[in-house]
Chains A and B, each alone.
Chain A
Amino acid sequence: MTDASPPQTFQMDGHDVAFTPGQSILTAALAAGRYIPHLCFHPEFTAHGSCKVCTVKVNGQPHASCTTPARSGDVVESDTDELTQLRLNLVQFLFAEGNHFCPSCEKSGACTLQGVAYELGMTTEHYSPLFPDRPVDASHPDVLLDFNRCILCELCIRASAIHDQKHVFALSGRGITKHLIVNAESGRLADTALALSDKAMTVCPVGVILRKRQGFAVPIGERRYDHQPISAVAVGHRPKEDGHE
């Protein structure tokens, strides 16, 4: 704060959180070192509020904190049993909807979905898994798409469209049949303009968009969330580099 006016604040779980106008509740909270679980938000892209994992109560009403502007004097609840349970259910839906086998997933330890699940204390899947049949796309020489793990956060879509100016990814279908597609007549990643240097290569929170032949080159135990929980890493206490991408 360089000007003399007092910082604007809202209350979150009994603490004052300072913000600058234009910040969302989520970005203000993260900047203040207060973690709110979230999946589809990425600081470099406009929030789009689809996963709802970041839901908080603002003056008693539920809102996605990533798309709700911070307002002076608001009373925000985040760390409550009720909201944790709601978030847990959402995450469990995501696990049930895709095929998530953490013990053999090369993203394990650097996966946001797994990190959030730990954070929420998830120990069982709870819902019966749907076991969808989703073949991988291995056509690209350097990149593998393992659709089994897609949580439809659209970050790759946003990164490819906005940052890379390529529009490699898109969603197709509705409801439970909604799925990620690539922008090529053949439907194959090899026939898109995706390159290893694209921003879209780095934003997937789970293990869908993978650099090929990387696998387990970085040992489990030396990955992004292996030393600190996601709640610490997300607010900037990052002990070491990701170890995966």
Chain B
Amino acid sequence: MPTSLDTAPNPETLRRIVIEPVSRVEGHGKVTILLDAERKVQQVRLHIVEFRGFERFIQGRPFWEVPVMVQRLCGICPVSHHLAASKAMDQIVGATRVPATATAIRRLMHYGQILQSHALHFFHLASPDLLFGFDSDPAKRNVVGVLAAHPDLARHGILLRKFGQEIIRITAGKRVHGTGSIPGGVNKRVTPAERDELRAPLADVVAWAEAGVRLVADLFAANRALYEGFGTVRSSLLSLVAPDGALDLYDGVLRARDADGGILFDGVRCADYGARIHENVRSWSYMKFPFFAELGPERGWYKVGPLARIQNCDSIGTPRAEAARQEFLARTLGTIQHAPLAYHWARMIELLHAAEVIERLLADPALVGDELTATGARATTGIGVIEAPRGTLIHHYEVDADDLVTMCNLIVSTTHNNTAMNEAIRQVARQYLDGREPTEGLLNHIEVAIRAFDPCLSCATHALGKMPLAVEIVDAAGALVTRLVRDGESL
């Protein structure tokens, strides 16, 4: 573990502060801070407090059920799990070439999810801190405050989300717990009428996304010292990139850079992730701590997600987002930007990219084709990797000859960022808390740093969801959906 504040030598003598639950993040997490008599920070840890062993739950289940079942991992990015598992199961059914139509529909679903998730995060969860200040009046520092002070911005955020959700509904069949993607392809066409319906608001969507990028870029420029210094810790980066090095959130090869931007590995097939990424456990956290094998657990931790992705790729293949990325890169003069608050900027660039990709997909004749599935020679291993809104998501399954899953390993985005988040809040604690009496505003600084990563703590612990079983049972359009929607749409 990299820094001093991971474990205090004499914890029993120290004063303990707990932030629980961390608000405006998905799932349930807590932070513990130990202070000595001089209020010097001695230990800071982000804990994840639930664990329900999804990987074991899935063992013994038939493989075709998995892409649907894994959506229960998470109420906020179920589509990412749905698609990562489907990509893994493509390999199980031997669909080495998924039909172009199925791929276009899945991509549309995925970029719709990226768009709605990024919109939710920025406009609803993060913007209150950025617009009003980290220690502004907590009564206003929320989405209601944003609605009052910046009604257009808030409205655009809501409409962007709606648009993304509509894409998900059309491609996955339902807004939540869709079943659109199946092993080998998809189960449902997109009709020309549905496509046209999605095309209608496109110009507005792109414009709102561009305005979002502008807003964060301006905030960054206006508060440069704060934004660049706040909780900043250097680390390596990991993401998928397209074979040609361009940004690709649906498929590609694994690329990693060191903290200075040098390539650590590139062109690594997703199937070989296990040779590059190992996982550590720590006694105090249910979440694992992954690291690059070649650098070891001390130095091998890394960041994933928007900030990693837009700097790891060589380019973005859509013009508006690429222009925005160039502006982003110009600020650091070719060095790697490590500031957690830069995640917000990168996230909005990706939101814009998602809007442009959606525009392209809706113009692609393949989207409304009829060839939906493929099969081939059965395989026993399936590894699906996707760039979920929060970062690289790895689903790995072994399936036996009787069609049952015998092994499942999931590494979700938030887990990849585990060390980086812990280090960021330690840095914030050093910068802001050391020697001062903690106030709500100061403690919110810790949460601001966590929120920048947009962690999804429920999927990080592979939770099954917290709804009572009873509600799950009658679902199809009923009570369970309500529960998940509430979780995922914490308006």
Interface residues, chain A, with chain B CB atoms under 8 Å away = 95, 100-104, 106, 108-109, 114, 117-118, 122-126, 129, 135-136, 138-139, 144, 146, 212-221, 226
Given A123-B479, A125-B469, 5 more A-B residue pairs with CB atoms under 8 Å apart are: A102-B476, A117-B473, A144-B62, A215-B62, A220-B178
From B65-73, B248-256, B450-458, give the one contacting chain A: B65-73
How far is the CB of B487 from the nearest CB of chain A, in Å? 14
A164 nearest CB across to chain B (Å): 23
Q: Compute how far the CA of A42 lies from the CA of B180 in the bound complex, rounded to whole angstroms.
A: 32
B320 interfacial by beta-carbon distance below 8 Å = no
Give the CA-CA distance A117 to B470 in the complex, in Å.
12
B188 within 8 A of partner (CB): yes
- Contact among B183, B470, B475 with A215 in the assembled complex (CB-CB below 8 Å): B183
Asked if B474 CB lies within 8 Å of chain A CBs, one says yes
CB distance from A7 to the nearest CB of B (A): 39
In angstroms, Cα B475 to Cα A123, docked, is 8
A61–B122 CA distance with the chains assembled, in angstroms: 63
Q: Does B472 contact A (CB under 8 A)?
A: yes
Query: Which of A104, A117, A124 has the most C-beta atoms of chain B within 10 angstroms of its own C-beta?
Result: A104
B403, CB-defined interface residue at 8 Å: yes
Interface contact A219-B474, CB-CB below 8 Å: no
User: Digit string of B462-481 for contact with A (CB within 8 Å is 1, else 0)?
Assistant: 00000011111111101110
- State A122–B173 Cα separation when bound (angstroms): 24
Q: How far is A218 from B187 in the complex, measured between Cα atoms in Å?
A: 6
Q: B98 CB to closest chain A CB, in angstroms?
A: 15
Flag if B402 contacts A215 (CB, 8 Å). no
Q: Does B273 interact with chain A (Cβ within 8 Å)?
A: no
In angstroms, Cα B182 to Cα A118, docked, is 27
Distance in angstroms between the alpha carbons of A100 and B476 in the assembled complex: 12
A104-B72, A125-B469, A129-B469 are known contacts. Are A136 and B179 too (CB-CB below 8 A)?
Answer: no
| Interface presence of B376 (CB below 8 A) | no
Does A215 contact B182, Cβ atoms closer than 8 Å?
yes
Top-4 shortest CB links A-B: A125-B470, A215-B64, A104-B69, A138-B402
CA distance A103 to B72 in the complex (A): 8
Q: Is the CB of B404 within 8 A of A138?
A: yes
Cβ–Cβ contact B402 & A220, under 8 A = no
Indicate if the CB atoms of B403 and A117 lie closer than 8 Å: no
Distance between Cα atoms of A3 and B174 in the complex (Å): 53
Taking the complex as formed, is B21 at the interface, i.e. its CB lies under 8 A from any CB of chain A?
A: no
Taking a contact as CB atoms under 8 Å apart, the answer to whether B187 and A219 are in contact is yes
By the criterion CB–CB under 8 Å, are A212 and B479 in contact? no
Chain A residues with CB under 8 A of B65: 104, 106, 215
Find residues 246-270 in chain B having any chain A CB closer than 8 Å to their own CB. none
Question: Which residue on B lies nearest to A108, using beta carbons?
Answer: B476
Residues of B within 8 A of A218 (CB): 187
Residue of A nearest to B185 (CB): A217
Bound-complex Cα distance A194 to B165 (A): 44
CB nearest to A102 among chain B residues: B475
- List chain B residues, Cβ under 8 A from A122: 473-474
CB nearest to B68 among chain A residues: A104
Within 8 Å CB of A212, what residues of B?
62, 64, 403
Distance in angstroms from A146 CB to nearest chain B CB is 8
- The residues of A that contact B69 with a CB separation of less than 8 Å are 101, 104
A-B pairs with beta carbons under 8 Å apart, 16 shown:
A101-B69, A101-B473, A103-B72, A114-B476, A123-B474, A125-B468, A135-B60, A136-B404, A138-B403, A213-B64, A216-B179, A218-B187, A219-B180, A219-B187, A220-B173, A226-B476
Assembly CA distance A106 to B474 (angstroms): 14
Residues B403 and A103 in contact, CB atoms below 8 Å apart: no
Contacting residues, chain A, for B71 (C-beta < 8 A): 103-104
Q: In residues 157-197 of chain B, which contact A (Cβ within 8 Å)?
A: 173-174, 177-180, 182-183, 187-188
Interchain CA distance A58-B257 in the complex, whole Å: 77
User: Which residues on the B side are within 8 Å of A135 (C-beta)?
Assistant: 60
